[in-house]
């Protein structure tokens, strides 16, 4: 549902993979993998690699970073991009994946973005 939300409301977006880092929508992942930022093993991609990807992929050009993910993914994105950005966190405070999916479904059904800035 995150993909559907991104397609509906944004021209440019990427996916954060705990194994591969930032992926473009057209990128092909060769096989399933069991890596998450929520677990220490297998080890997820490092912040230093994410920072290199941000530079090489032109992701630093944006002023606002929107994160569709849970708390740990938000922490990783903020650590990778740093403090010079405004962050929008539409799923902040959601009490689990079910609530996150409900928010996204409602936004899609209403054709209305969810706007929650960091700190709100």
Strand partners, 21: 17
Q: What is the pLDDT of residue 74?
A: 94
The sign of the torsion formed by the CA atoms of 30, 14, 67, 55 equals: positive
- 13 secondary structure, DSSP code: -
Tokens describing residue 6 = 């991104």
Domain boundaries, the chain: 2-110
Identify whether 42 is preceded by a cis peptide bond (ω within 30 of 0): yes
For the chain, first and last CA: distance in Å? 23
- The model's pLDDT over 23-73, given as tens digits with 9 standing for 90+, comes to 999 999 988 899 999 898 999 999 999 999 999 999 999 999 999 999 999
């Amino acid at each position: 549902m995150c993909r559907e939300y991104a397609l509906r409301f944004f021209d440019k977006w990427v996916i954060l993979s705990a194994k591969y880092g930032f992926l473009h929508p057209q990128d092909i992942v060769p096989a399933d993998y069991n890596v998450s930022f929520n677990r220490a093993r297998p080890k997820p991609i490092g912040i230093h690699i994410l920072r290199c990807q941000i530079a090489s992929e032109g992701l630093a050009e944006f002023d606002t970073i929107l994160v569709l993910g849970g708390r740990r993914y938000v922490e990783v994105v903020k650590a990778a991009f740093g403090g010079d950005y405004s962050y929008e966190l539409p799923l902040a405070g959601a009490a689990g994946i079910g609530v996150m999916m409900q928010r996204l479904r409602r936004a899609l059904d209403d054709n209305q973005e969810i706007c929650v800035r960091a700190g709100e």
